[in-house]
Amino acid sequence: MEIVLTGIKPTGTSHIGNYFGAIKQAIEFSKNSNYLSMFFIADYHSLNTIKDPELFQRYTYEIAATWLACGLDPNKVVFYKQSDVPEVFELNWILNNVTPKGLLNRAHAYKAKVEENKNNNLDADSGINMGLFCYPVLMAADILIMNANKIPVGQDQKQHIEIAKEIARYFNNAFGSCFTVPEEFIPDSVGTVIGLDGRKMSKSYNNTINLFGSEKLLKSQINKIVTNSQTPEEPKDTNCSIFKIFSLFANLQQLEEMKIKFAQGIGWGEVKKITFEVANTFIAPMREKYNYYINNKSEIDKILEAGAIKARKIAEETMLKVKKLIGKI
């Protein structure tokens, strides 16, 4: 059975762009019985940007609760924390010793930071720690330790999988056949989720709609969606942010009804009111589950601990093979 591996970095509160852009598709894919799906919370990866211990812990619980609330079934997948599998970090060091520095020099995130420093007349390495530079090696260890076959990623993460492939080949060439060379899986259906201002929904743009905020917050954020100055009686174009966001939550009947209202003329305030009602109906059951898990963190701990036992079994088998190949045993 092929292994499909998904890593989730806990770096902030999830928004609807995360759900419709990645979470929903990944959970649907996990229901495919032809694959063993593994989901891990890449908590140590987040140390690259998060230096607050309270936030580190909070975001880890939030991301676990989010995936569980959205329908991830821990009985049908392997769901664990990266930090609960120490073999990952042992393999990380071993892989560092076969990874050329030149390969990491070409990593997009590192190159972008160097370019930013140069544009700001700073030293090229200003603010760059080894966590950022060696990030692709740890990501490779996450993947290779599980001998994963397919890695669902967005287009922006494709290079990291290419680097993981190269590292697997470097090790296999140096010590003998060991690691499965993974393949990126980029679902065609994953599109860009529009934010409040018409740009891609992103925390960096401050244009997000929280996935599990209160009803009051949801209504407030939807009311901030940018619209034009057309009057209520004027026909509206469905190629606008509010309709695109409405479409994420609406069923076919609701979509057709809204299209008619747009053609006949409807006030933006009324559109936002209907969008809130449809979105809240969609989110409410998941929000209830999310709040349950956040208020019962011991349940999350039990689920992740059980997942770690399954993950470590695979990781230990891989490391046994690695150690034999390098002469450790």
Of 294, 303, 292, 291, give the one whose Cα is nearest residue 39: 303
Predicted confidence band of residue 11 (pLDDT cuts 50, 70, 90) = confident
| Region of poorest pLDDT, from 16-25, 32-41, 158-167 | 16-25
Same domain, 126 and 80: yes
Predicted confidence band of residue 191 (pLDDT cuts 50, 70, 90) = low
Same domain, 130 and 226: no
Same domain, 179 and 278: no
How far apart, in whole angstroms, are the C-alpha atoms of residue 155 and residue 305?
A: 31
Tokens standing for residue 167: 């590292």
Residue 216: count of CB within 10 angstroms of its CB: 8
Residue 190 has pLDDT above 60, yes or no: no
Same domain, 284 and 304: no
Is residue 222 situated within a structural domain? yes
Predicted confidence band of residue 170 (pLDDT cuts 50, 70, 90) = very high
| Strand 78-81, strand 35-41: pairing | parallel
Same domain, 322 and 272: no
Residue 248 has pLDDT above 60, yes or no: yes
Is residue 276 situated within a structural domain? yes
pTM of the model: 0.91
Show the domain range for 187. 2-192+297-326
Same domain, 162 and 251: no
